[in-house]
Amino acid sequence: MESDPTRMCELLVGLPDVNVLGIDDVVGQPLQVHVELRGSRTGCEACGVFAWVKDRPVVDLVDLPCFGRPTHVLWHKRRLWCPEPSCARGSWTEDELGIAAPRMGMTDRSGRWITEQVGRYARSVNEVAVELGTDWHTINDTLIAYGTALVDDDPDRFGVVEALGLDEVLFCRIGPWRRQEFSTQIVDVGRGQLLDVVPGRSSAGPMAWLAEQGKPWRDQVRYATLDLSGPYRAVFDAMVPDATQVADPFHVVKLANTKLDECRRRVQNETMGHRGHKADPLYRCRRLLTKADERLDDHGREKLLGLLRAGDPKGDVTTMWHAKEAVRALYSHEDSELALEWVERLAADLNDTDYPIEARSLSRTLIRWKHQIAAWHEAHVSNGPTEAVILWRVRSSVFDVADRASFSRRRHILWSASLTSTVLAPA
Ligand SMILES: [Zn+2]
């Protein structure tokens, strides 16, 4: 057991080769630990002449919390100067990467910790900033610095990707009208790993990204998953023409639910002349309608059918409800040929002129995407779970800023969400 007070203090601070000069304890402020480098590098790096200490700038570094309290390290650096007239070295400031990288506002250990918290554990930048007693920008700058190094140093970090997914995600809202700006996330669907983020939801961004990866990389992609988006389909047609395109079941079922909802609102308006009120039968059954049928108990189903009888005189909503369940039933098939047949028959059935317009619209989409929908049964890859995880991470790490950081700044935060454990190991 160590009982020498100086040594005990050094052990608690835990930084390599520093003298602890003192500690400031101001109520309501982070604890401030003053340190200096032990030993002196007093020889000029250029000529070896004994260097003079010109001044002692103090660098304020955010550190890890100490016993639950935000802590800063105040590093009293030495700025040295070479007095040799014939030497061109001039002055320099001592550095120690074990404490902090040059120009970083935090210690190296907290930089790694932050990257791990946001990257691996998906904590928000804001939350981490509060814990460390600093602001959003300090944390974000650190993530960019550490994240960029990790990402750029490892061009092969993706490895072979067999199932590639594209996903549009709301990136941020801009300006006084909170205009939505979208991004496209490029995902390794097999591993559930975010590979990159490119601006917009058109085909241009992912097209350029895939071009950059090179043909050998693209040739290894066997499955390409997408929502029912034309631009992404164009990307895959052009860039990975041999990959089997797979429509994400989540989006297919979501489309059926959207059509059901459109129909309900239209019928509501036609029969009642106003938008849904809480007493209106169609409004009352809106949640029961989109619920999976097998999750309705007898009471729920009876209630739903009763409300439909009361609010849906022509049976349009009921038709769409059956259509939605039929779309869901697609995914109970095991076989992709059977699934294709099912999609074709369902689409043909829904294309009946007696059916509501929403049914015919759903039918057209099913026809347009029938191969991609049926291919899921062969591939069994889906953006589903990844998407949920990523969306959550994006929201938690990006939407906690009020101002709009540039795209590349946000992109780096997302990147950090895909860092793997190996790159985060201490040096
Ligand atoms: Zn010199």
pLDDT number for residue 416: 47
CA 100 to ligand 1 center in whole angstroms: 25
CA 49 to ligand 1 center in whole angstroms: 6
* Domain layout of the chain by residue ranges: 1-100, 249-379
Tens digit of pLDDT for each residue in 304-352? 888 988 889 888 999 999 999 889 888 877 777 788 888 999 999 999 8
pTM exceeds 0.75: no
CA 97 to ligand 1 center in whole angstroms: 23
pLDDT number for residue 383: 55
CA 43 to ligand 1 center in whole angstroms: 8
User: 114 Cβ partners below 8 Å, 6+ apart?
Assistant: 106, 128, 132, 139, 142, 143, 146
Which of 269-278, 299-308, 370-379, 406-415 has the lowest average pLDDT?
A: 406-415
Tens digit of pLDDT for each residue in 151-175? 655 556 667 888 898 888 766 666 6
Confidence of residue 107 (pLDDT cuts 50, 70, 90): very high
CA 139 to ligand 1 center in whole angstroms: 37
CA 42 to ligand 1 center in whole angstroms: 10
Confidence of residue 122 (pLDDT cuts 50, 70, 90): low
Structure token digits, residue 224: 């390409």
pLDDT number for residue 365: 95
CA 169 to ligand 1 center in whole angstroms: 56
pLDDT number for residue 394: 40
CA 21 to ligand 1 center in whole angstroms: 29
Confidence of residue 406 (pLDDT cuts 50, 70, 90): very low
CA 47 to ligand 1 center in whole angstroms: 4
User: 103 Cβ partners below 8 Å, 6+ apart?
Assistant: none
In angstroms, the CA 143 to CA 413 distance is 7
CA 86 to ligand 1 center in whole angstroms: 8
Residue 349 vs residue 423, higher pLDDT: 349
Tens digit of pLDDT for each residue in 218-228? 999 999 988 88
Note the Cα 409 to chain centre separation in Å: 13
CA 34 to ligand 1 center in whole angstroms: 29
In angstroms, the CA 182 to CA 410 distance is 12
Q: Exposed, middle or buried: residue 135 (CB in 10 Å: 0-12, 13-18, 19+)?
A: middle
CA 75 to ligand 1 center in whole angstroms: 25
Q: In degrees to the nearest 10, what's the CA dihedral of 141, 143, 146, 149?
A: -90
CA 415 to ligand 1 center in whole angstroms: 43
| 327 touches 293 (CB < 8 A) | no
CA 92 to ligand 1 center in whole angstroms: 11
CA 46 to ligand 1 center in whole angstroms: 5
CA 99 to ligand 1 center in whole angstroms: 25
Q: What is the mean pLDDT of the chain?
A: 81
pLDDT number for residue 110: 93
pLDDT number for residue 123: 74
DSSP collapsed to 3 states, 276-315 = CCCCCHHHHCHHHHHCCHHHCCHHHHHHHHHHHHHHCCCC
Tens digit of pLDDT for each residue in 271-302? 888 887 888 888 888 888 888 888 888 888 88
Confidence of residue 387 (pLDDT cuts 50, 70, 90): very low
Per-range mean pLDDT, top range of 19-33, 140-154, 195-209, 329-343 = 19-33
CA 93 to ligand 1 center in whole angstroms: 14
CA 37 to ligand 1 center in whole angstroms: 21
CA 18 to ligand 1 center in whole angstroms: 25
Per-range mean pLDDT, top range of 37-51, 255-269, 294-308 = 255-269
Instruction: State the average pLDDT over residues 18-44.
Output: 88
Beta bridge partners, 59, equal: 75
